[in-house]
Amino acid sequence: MRDRLLKGIMEKIPYTKLNGHPEKRLPGNINVSFHFIEGESLLLLLDHYGICASTGSACSSGSLDPSHVLMAIGLPHEIAHGSLRLSLGDLNKEEDVDYVLDVLPQIVQRLRDMSPLYESFIKEGGK
């Protein structure tokens, strides 16, 4: 189920980076970074659509810094700020994966459409 979710995210959302090893990771864990957007706004929108997730920026814990682990594995700030952690448990169903794969790409695009980083990226020809 995790693999289907991860594959779907990577296929449906361009400019996404998988953080960590593709296979050598906890079974229910996904950690990805979406370029050009910031994690807290992503979480707020996911929460609005009933999807519980976590981010490296840990805004609500009082720290505004991106994940020190993602920084330590060499991610630049702007990529670490756009990280998202999704954890699947034994209560999750295949429908949940379908739902996330339906909603998440729309949310990411909505934030990218608002992002000056994405705007510059597109203007520079998407390089």
Partner 1 sequence: MYSDKVMDHFMNPRNVGEIENADGIGEVGNAKCGDIMKIYLKVEDNRIVDVKFKTFGCGSAIASSSMATELIKGKTLEEAWELTNVAVAEALDGLPPAKMHCSVLAEQAIHRAINDYRIKQGLEPWEDRFSGDDDHHHHE
- Interface with partner 1, residue 77, by CB under 8 A: yes
Q: Pick the catalytic residue: 53, 59, 69, 101?
A: 59
Answer whether 83's CB lies under 8 Å from 35's CB.
Answer: no
Answer whether 35's CB lies under 8 Å from 17's CB.
Answer: yes
H-type helices in the chain, by residue range? 2-12, 39-48, 68-72, 77-80, 94-113, 116-123
Answer whether 118's CB lies under 8 Å from 36's CB.
Answer: yes
Interface residue with partner 1, options 26, 73, 114, 122 (CB under 8 A): 114
Sole window of 4-12, 22-30, 36-44, 85-93 interacting with partner 1 (rule: CB under 8 A): 36-44
Contact characters 46-65, partner 1, x per CB under 8 A:
--x--------x-xx-x-x-
What residues between 82 and 111 interact with partner 1 by CB under 8 A?
Answer: none
What does the block give as tokens for 71? 């920084």
Q: Is 61 helix (H, G, I), strand (E, B) or coil?
A: helix
- Interface with partner 1, residue 44, by CB under 8 A: yes
Q: Is 55 helix (H, G, I), strand (E, B) or coil?
A: coil
Interface residue with partner 1, options 13, 30, 32, 66 (CB under 8 A): 66
What's the closest the beta carbon of residue 123 comes to partner 1, in angstroms?
10
Interface residue with partner 1, options 17, 40, 53, 58 (CB under 8 A): 40
